[in-house]
Structure 1
Amino acid sequence: MDNRFRVFRKPIQELINLTEIIRKTLDNIYFTMIKRVLLIWILSHSVYGQRVIGYYPQWIQGSFGPDEINYSVITHVLHAFAWPDGEGNIITYSDMLDPEINSTVHEHGASILLSFGGWGNSDGFPGMVSSTETRQNFINGLLDIFNAYGYDGIDLDWEFPSTTTETNDLTLLVEELRSAFDASGQDYLITMAVGPSNWTGQHFDYEALTANIDWYSMMGYDFHGSWSSHAGHNGPLYSSPPGDPDGSVHTGINYLVNSRNIPSEKLNLGVPFYGKQFNTGEINGSFSGDVLDIRYSDVLSLIDAGWEYHWDDVAKCPYLQNNDHDVLVTFDDPQSIQEKSQYAIERELGGMMIWALGYDVSGNSQDLVESIGQHFLHNYTAPYSLLPDNVVLYDNFPNPFNPMTVIRYALPEDDLVNIIIYNTMGREVKTLINGQRTAGYHSLQWNASNDAGAPISAGIYLYMIRTGDFVQTKKMVLLK
């Protein structure tokens, strides 16, 4: 079974039956309210580990195209960065927005959100959120971009609100975004990148925000850098040395879940595909000069050049030393990503987040993405560039869904493929594919409509793949 979107299914049929009774006896307003409660209950009983979010920065578009993203692992692409000015106008890099990027992501069954802010691009937030007029200007411009390019939502990466007024204004912005998205009739997402400590989080009203935020992504990196007193790990899972005041992934998750009451299923663990280079001779020692960011793909070159590899079993992270022992690099590798993946599963987190896609590319491999696929999603057993040994029909995601779901399948060779949706009476609802397909990994979206293009009613449906002698059927649940 593909564990990407496992859901506790035992009570779902009873819930669907109950909603049909309620639909017949209550008006639409009350039914909608009850439906939302039931959906929240179902999702709260999910087995977590369902989202893998990847930031796709503008500056990597030229060297790492959207078709190179590993969609067998990545569920949501965050296109970074746009930013607001103080009047609520939206600013982007001149070569950033491209409808081909969005269509490529969608063709692979993933979603794409437009991310705002980031370090160095957050100066316009205080002015933009400060009045009803500037917030509305921002929202109007955002919806225009969504309509023009096909984005599926917004990611907010304001680093960071610093006053009580900004706290309240950010909450108002998110409330108004949700109202505007609901009024649009589209299921646009609202997500947010957040820091791992009270220093970064004190001016976020998480209790008020959470009602309208689909998920948060904790930035589990930059625990040490030019600002810190010692050359520590970039993204330690646990504090090393123990009690290090600069913190760790573990202290960050505890802060957000235990102290700020963010539901674990709404929280993604962010992992860095880059490291920090210090001028120092030892881990946790003093350092001099500049601290440099270094991508994982460049770290591999240092390993190939003979730098010494060390594993910190307290931090659960590696580091490198050069032969002269005067330069040190802290970073994440497939083993540390495995440790963090297991931690995310144990803490029942809703997903993992990557900064940034393309930073781990080496030849035809994306080692860190593949480690997340193998150890977090548990549905990934070979490099993405290799063909599967057999035909595979994956579980659709999300499941339950309304109204859109993604169906993925894999072919070991070119073949004629037939994928059909049936109702529980065995009647054909929709033919999704009937034609030749190439070997490899494929995905498609279904919008809960029949062959005539009309929307169908809530219930349990079956989707079947037939190719050669291979036939397999799986169940999915449509909620309305």
Structure 2
Amino acid sequence: MKTVLYFTNWSIYGRQFHVKDLPLEYLTHVLYAFANINPNTGEVYLSDAYADTDMHFDGDLWDEPGKNLYGNLKQLYLLKKSRRSLKVLLSIGGWTFSSNFAPVAANSQLRANFVSSAVNLVKNFGLDGLDIDWEYPKDSQESANFLLLLKDLRSGLDDYANSISPLNGLRRKFLLTVASSCSNEVYKNFNLRECDKYLDFWNLMAYDFSGTWSSVTGHQANIFGGEVSADSAVRDFILAGINPEKLILGMPLYGRSFTNTGGFGQKYKGVGRGSWEEGIWDYKALPLKGSIEYLDKKHIASYSYNPSSRIWISYDTPSCASLKAEYIQNKKLGGAMWWDASSDSPLSSSRCLVKTVVHNWGGLESLETSPENRLIYPDSPYIKKLYDL
């Protein structure tokens, strides 16, 4: 099984969550979010130089000669050295930067610039591949351009892989994945089978099904039922010819709140406070004081409600995560993905959702351990020094 966890570069600030805090032994893939795109040139570039490459952590020196890599990307590379089954991918886009995809994907020269700059980031910073998070291509033309972008990226990554020495006699490919909506209104425009030719796996964003845009309270991450559900997306992808093992089921590590409401499926007024933005609570802060947690087995969803404050919050609880782990196994899917690392309860807690899912699969032995990650990047000005540490 794969366990895929998004780690955001901004988590090192107010959240004070760092690479060292990742639940390393429970992970097969880390998606580092997010790189941005220049819509005028097509260049993919790191969005926060301080967090990504400059911040010094314990053990980093201030007087090293030559070019040196620091920041989160150094820490992630060192994690790869300590756990050879771990793959680190750079995620490009996300909600904030997604508007920059469309003009680039529509132009062959800008696509070429996108590919060369993205592959250079893989070369320079010791990454195992790229994750594309375009939220979302708005019509069939943008979806067709998205396919062209994936095709060009696959070619660019393969060309780089073929240009460097094999690992242990084997030509090791670099990974290419996407974060995909579970809404049929989005993926109906895609030629899923064609896109799949260029991808190693799909990260299904099986969350944000309800929120401030909804007229009544509703589950935000249900497996069954509702206008949007994870299961309907899974079935559609499989019907389109996607191998279930290439589908990774996404789960939220946060809750969406609704205030002044009588409960599930009822009118509400406002979304209230949150951990970092209104209406969004870190999972580790839940349930709020005075709230009771409930499990909806029919829809495989969970929530909390406080009848006094009249606050209703949709999020995954450990009992819900356990049912989702069973669903993944029953459907023979490839694993689980979570957004985002900083919001889970710590491994020491029985409420840690990443740990809960892995234990329901049978423990650490259930996780994918091969092939090994790549540590040697001959074109990087930084990596040889880190490799020799």
TM over 0.5: yes
3-state secondary structure, aligned to 2:218? coil
Q: Which residue is equivalent to 1:119?
A: 95
Match of 2:179 among 193, 201, 209: 193
User: Structure 1: which 5+ residue stretches go unaligned?
Assistant: 1-49, 381-393, 407-444, 447-480
Instruction: Check whether the contact 1:237–1:316 (CA below 8 A) recurs between aligned residues.
Output: yes
Q: Within 2, Cα distance between the matches of 1:336 and 1:397? A: 23
User: Structure 2: which 5+ residue stretches go unaligned?
Assistant: 53-70, 162-171, 273-278, 377-389
Q: Which residue is equivalent to 2:59?
A: none
User: What is the CA-CA distance between 1:315 and the residue it aligns to?
Assistant: 2.2
Q: Which residue is equivalent to 2:297?
A: 313
User: What is the CA-CA distance between 1:271 and the residue it aligns to?
Assistant: 0.6
Q: Which residue is equivalent to 1:299?
A: 286
User: What is the CA-CA distance between 1:266 and the residue it aligns to?
Assistant: 0.8
Q: Within 1, Cα distance between the matches of 2:366 and 2:230? A: 30
Match of 1:134 among 91, 101, 110: 110
TM-score, structure 1 normalization? 0.66
1:58 is aligned to 2:58:
no
3-state secondary structure, aligned to 2:293? strand
The residue correspondences of 1:423-462 to structure 2 (distance < 5 A) are none
Q: Which residue is equivalent to 2:314?
A: 330
User: What is the CA-CA distance between 1:405 and the residue it aligns to?
Assistant: 6.4
Q: Within 1, Cα distance between the matches of 2:182 and 2:145? A: 22
User: What is the CA-CA distance between 1:316 and the residue it aligns to?
Assistant: 2.6
User: What is the CA-CA distance between 1:396 and the residue it aligns to?
Assistant: 9.2
Instruction: Check whether the contact 1:155–1:190 (CA below 8 A) recurs between aligned residues.
Output: yes
3-state secondary structure, aligned to 1:216? strand
1:105 is aligned to 2:92:
no
Closer, same or farther: CA 364–117 of 1 in aligned 2, 3 Å:
same
Q: Within 2, Cα distance between the matches of 1:396 and 1:261? A: 25
Match of 1:179 among 155, 169, 190: 155
Range with greater deviation from structure 2 (153-162 or 58-67): 58-67
The residue correspondences of 1:151-166 to structure 2 (distance < 5 A) are 151-166=127-142
Structure with more of its chain in strand, by fraction: 1
Instruction: Check whether the contact 1:161–1:167 (CA below 8 A) recurs between aligned residues.
Output: yes
Q: Which residue is equivalent to 1:204?
A: 190
User: What is the CA-CA distance between 1:281 and the residue it aligns to?
Assistant: 1.9
3-state secondary structure, aligned to 1:321? strand
The residue correspondences of 1:78-477 to structure 2 (distance < 5 A) are 78-86=31-39, 87-91=41-45, 92-97=47-52, 98=71, 99-106=73-80, 107-109=82-84, 110-185=86-161, 187-239=173-225, 244=226, 246-258=227-239, 260-279=240-259, 280-290=261-271, 292-300=279-287, 302=288, 305-362=289-346, 364-365=348-349, 367-376=352-361, 378-380=362-364, 397-399=368-370, 401=371, 404=372
State, as a whole percentage, how many aligned pairs show the same letter.
26
User: What is the CA-CA distance between 1:306 and the residue it aligns to?
Assistant: 2.5
User: What is the CA-CA distance between 1:397 and the residue it aligns to?
Assistant: 4.7
Closer, same or farther: CA 397–231 of 1 in aligned 2, 3 Å:
closer
Q: Which residue is equivalent to 1:72?
A: 25
Q: Within 1, Cα distance between the matches of 2:293 and 2:116? A: 51
Instruction: Check whether the contact 1:102–1:150 (CA below 8 A) recurs between aligned residues.
Output: no
Paired letter, 1:349: L
- Listed one character per residue, the Cα deviations across residues 388-443 of structure 1 (whole Å, up to 9, x for unaligned) are xxxxxx699545x4xx369xxxxxxxxxxxxxxxxxxxxxxxxxxxxxxxxxxxxx
Q: Within 1, Cα distance between the matches of 2:271 and 2:294? A: 22
Instruction: Check whether the contact 2:347–2:355 (CA below 8 A) recurs between aligned residues.
Output: no
User: What is the CA-CA distance between 1:312 and the residue it aligns to?
Assistant: 2.1
Closer, same or farther: CA 104–66 of 1 in aligned 2, 3 Å:
farther
Paired letter, 1:209: C
Q: Within 1, Cα distance between the matches of 2:331 and 2:112? A: 38
Paired letter, 1:157: D
3-state secondary structure, aligned to 1:361? coil
Closer, same or farther: CA 230–396 of 1 in aligned 2, 3 Å:
closer
Superposition CA RMSD, Å = 2.3
Give the structure, 1 or 2, with the largest relative contact order (CA under 8 Å, sep 6 or more): 2
Range with greater deviation from structure 2 (130-139 or 197-206): 197-206
Structure with more of its chain in helix, by fraction: 2
Range with greater deviation from structure 2 (318-327 or 182-191): 318-327
Q: Within 2, Cα distance between the matches of 1:347 and 1:189? A: 23
Instruction: Check whether the contact 1:67–1:104 (CA below 8 A) recurs between aligned residues.
Output: no
Q: Within 1, Cα distance between the matches of 2:32 and 2:242? A: 24
Number of equivalences: 334
Range with greater deviation from structure 2 (80-89 or 362-371): 362-371
User: What is the CA-CA distance between 1:283 and the residue it aligns to?
Assistant: 0.9
3-state secondary structure, aligned to 1:72? helix
Q: Within 2, Cα distance between the matches of 1:333 and 1:396? A: 22
Instruction: Check whether the contact 1:278–1:290 (CA below 8 A) recurs between aligned residues.
Output: yes
User: What is the CA-CA distance between 1:175 and the residue it aligns to?
Assistant: 1.2
Paired letter, 2:182: P
Paired letter, 1:332: D
Instruction: Check whether the contact 2:196–2:242 (CA below 8 A) recurs between aligned residues.
Output: yes
